[in-house]
């Protein structure tokens, strides 16, 4: 049994990362009933922006770049965790402005629109940074490994899992415990009443969408040191994100988190026995669940399936 422990731990940390990746996707699906297929590309964009900011040639004017590079690595990393998602948020604004035309119509419009946007962003990444792999520098404090029970553990994985827990917790607090969250949920539930109460729904939707894209970027920055940075990373992220949402059930916050953990465990444990096939396990898991439970684990009735 103890042999399995590393794989279970590995699966759990991976699961938290899946949940983190799915978080922004879930917000936009749950609160706006829109499927944002560009989620993966925004995730990749976050990682690329962070890589550029942390790298030797930051995108600033010469004198500012000098003082930026003079900062300690840890400070730069902390600032990057804010700056890169903010930049991705700007891209999110542009997508939302296009997407506006599709509100009130079928969600498939949004899905196709964001599919196109994903293609465009991925192509732009290829044009700007080429197809080679990059590495994101991280501060020494979270890098390296430690020995526990005769095994070497990667510090970064635990740091990443910790960040995932923190971000998931903060988002839950924001949605469930603040008046902003209440308004947003009400807007998703009955837009007419919310408008009648004098709330600017257009701005509210923009905020939710941009928040979702920024979460995608944060996930990208956190996951980048583990998966590496390459143009394809967007697709590698959006499929598990989509899968986690469908498995957990559309509209269920904890459903998505549990689904993320389940997917992580499935991938981690199957990786222990047949590493070649470990990615297959998440699809098998999905098929097994959705065949018997029409709306995933705890899905609510939604426009997306009507």
289 binds another protein (CB under 8 A): no
Stretch that binds another protein, among 145-153, 189-197, 239-247, 261-269 (CB under 8 A): 239-247
Q: Which 29-48 positions form the footprint of another protein (CB under 8 A)?
A: 35
Whole-angstrom distance, CA of residue 218 vs CA of residue 24: 10
CB of 65 to another protein, least distance (A): 28
Which pair of structure tokens corresponds to residue 150?
A: 């005769």
Chain-centre distance of CA 207, in angstroms? Answer: 17
Q: Give CA–CA dist 109/25, Å, rounded.
A: 16
Q: Which of 93, 287, 300, 301 binds another protein (CB under 8 A)?
A: 287
Per CB under 8 A, does 101 bind another protein? yes
φ and ψ at residue 299, rounded to 5 degrees: -70, 150
User: Binding string to another protein for residues 139 to 178, with x set by CB under 8 A, is what?
Assistant: ----------------------------------------
The SS3 of residue 15 is helix
Residues 112-131 binding another protein (CB under 8 A) are 112-113, 115-117, 119-120, 122-124, 126-127
Least distance from another protein to the Cβ atom of residue 291, Å: 5
Neighbours of 253 (CB within 10 A): 18
Among 161, 167, 250, 263, contact with another protein (rule: CB under 8 A): 250
Cα separation of 228 and 63, whole Å?
Answer: 30
Single out the residue of 75, 106, 200, 301 in contact with another protein (rule: CB under 8 A).
Answer: 106
Q: Which residues contact 254 (CB under 8 A, 6 or more apart)?
A: 248, 298
Distances (CA, A) of 133 to 20, 47, 48, 255: 23, 12, 10, 34
Is the Cβ of residue 85 or residue 231 nearer to another protein in the bound state? Answer: 231
Instruction: Report CA 122 to chain centroid distance, whole Å.
Output: 16
Q: Taking the CB of residue 244, how many other CB atoms lie within 10 A of it?
A: 30
Select from 55-63, 163-171, 219-227, 271-279 the region that touches another protein (CB under 8 A). 271-279
Q: Would you state the torsion angle of the CA atoms of residues 252, 256, 258, 262, taken in this order, to the nearest 10 degrees?
A: 140
CB of 300 to another protein, least distance (A): 12
How many residues line the site for another protein (CB under 8 A)? 45
Where does this chain bind another protein (CB under 8 A)? 35, 98, 101-102, 105-109, 111-113, 115-117, 119-120, 122-124, 126-127, 235, 239, 242-243, 246, 250, 276-277, 279-280, 283-284, 286-287, 290-291, 294-296, 302, 304-306
């Amino acid at each position: 049994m103890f042999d399995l422990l590393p794989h279970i731990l590995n699966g759990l940390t991976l699961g938290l990362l899946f949940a983190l990746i799915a978080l922004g996707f879930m917000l936009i699906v749950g609160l706006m009933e829109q499927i944002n297929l560009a989620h993966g590309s925004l995730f990749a964009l976050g990682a690329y922006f962070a890589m550029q900011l942390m790298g030797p040639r930051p995108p600033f004017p010469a004198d500012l770049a000098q003082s930026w590079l003079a900062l300690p690595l840890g400070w730069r990393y902390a600032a990057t965790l804010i700056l890169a998602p903010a930049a991705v948020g700007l891209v999110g604004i542009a997508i939302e402005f296009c997407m506006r035309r599709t509100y009130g119509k079928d969600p498939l419009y949004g899905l196709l629109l964001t599919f196109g946007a994903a293609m465009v962003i991925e192509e732009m990444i290829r044009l700007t940074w080429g197809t080679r792999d990059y590495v994101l520098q991280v501060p020494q404090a979270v890098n390296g490994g430690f020995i526990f029970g005769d095994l070497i553990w990667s510090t970064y994985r635990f740091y990443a899992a910790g960040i995932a827990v923190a971000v998931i917790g903060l988002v839950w607090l924001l949605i469930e415990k603040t008046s902003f969250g209440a308004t947003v949920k009400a807007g998703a539930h009955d837009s007419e009443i919310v408008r009648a109460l004098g709330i600017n729904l257009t701005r509210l939707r923009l905020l939710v969408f941009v928040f979702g894209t920024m979460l995608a970027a944060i996930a990208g920055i956190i996951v980048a040191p583990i998966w590496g940075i390459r143009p394809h990373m967007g697709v590698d992220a959006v499929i598990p994100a989509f899968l986690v949402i469908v498995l957990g059930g559309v509209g269920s916050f904890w459903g998505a988190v549990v689904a993320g953990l389940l997917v992580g465990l499935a991938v981690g444990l199957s990786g222990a026995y047949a590493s070649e096939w470990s990615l297959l396990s998440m699809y098998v898991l999905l098929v097994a669940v959705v065949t018997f439970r029409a709306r995933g684990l705890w899905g609510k009735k939604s426009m997306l399936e009507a």
